[in-house]
Amino acid sequence: MTEPRPATPSAYAPDVPGNPDLPLTPRPSPGSGTVPFDLPGVFVGTAEYEEGPTGCTVVHVPAGARTAVDARGGAVGLSGGYEFNHAICFAGGSVYGLGAVAGVSAELLARNRNLTKWDQLQLVSGAVIYDFSVRDNAVHPDAALGAAALRAAREGGFPVGRCGAGRAASTGKADFARAEFAGQGAAFGTFGEAKVLVATVVNAVGAVVDRDGTVVRGNYHAAEGGRRHPAVDYAAQVGRDEPAEAVRGNTTLTVMVTNVRLTDRELDQVARQVHSSMHRGIQPFHTLTDGDVMFALTTDEVDLPGVPPTGFGALASEVAWDAILKGVE
């Protein structure tokens, strides 16, 4: 008896087009601007499929960097999570976008002449956002797009705005009808010889709040011609027989790269401290329907005399808030 052949993707007659149904070509994803940074040996690249639109963002540290990972919320989409990485990849496409992480890994293997001894492995971690809610197709970042983003990586600049993994990000979803497009942001700070780069892809339930408490993106009420804090809407729902359903498919992804020398324990705590601080700029944050992930990397180059790790975390937290705001300009 002849065995049945596996069906090809096109045989399923999809309701919406996906990667096998379109002639996808990775394209540059420059966004609305670039945040300069001075961290030699740190490269950043982006790429997108405009047919989505969706994209990915890669931070490449060829020499590798010790890494702490802080994952929170009820919907984390994470790959790797290693304690040492040569690259971090963020992507749209939810769980399907994890293919882009594999693409970065394959590209690094090829660059490293296919060497596979234990101490020659190129380690890549990554995480994804759910960005299907703002589009009507199943196009997602894949291995080809991840490799393209890595090939596009350059020193000294981080693309911001609606680009890379933030190409179809949205925020302020107390009610999805009041959501607004967001994107990816970055900020860079120097404190003596210490340097810190923070970049974030904002795709949150929460709205973005600036330093004076004003909601600057998300939870937009068209009838009122403005935005308001989600807490106002949640308070109005108290006691209702039919509570509003939580909007699913959210995540804020953040990467921090510093040259400050920290122990493993200190790096873990600083990652948690900075990640926790981001609730000031995104409210609410770390919810049941968010999958927030922070990767904190150090290149272990300088000390920060006179300032304990907690103090450094406080400084980096301000940089993180700047990155959030930059992502929604």
What positions carry a catalytic annotation?
251
Question: Per this entry, what is the length of the chain?
Answer: 329
Helix axes 264-277, 309-326, angle to 10 degrees: 40
One DSSP character per residue, 236-254 reads: HHTT-SSPPPPPP-BEEEE
**What span, in angstroms and rounded, lies between the C-alpha atoms of 293 and 290?**
9
**What span, in angstroms and rounded, lies between the C-alpha atoms of 312 and 107?**
34
Q: DSSP alpha helices (H): ranges in the chain? A: 98-111, 143-151, 230-237, 264-277, 309-326
State the CB neighbour count (10 A cutoff) for residue 152: 20
Contact 128, 251 (CB under 8 A): yes
Helix axes 98-111, 143-151, angle to 10 degrees: 50
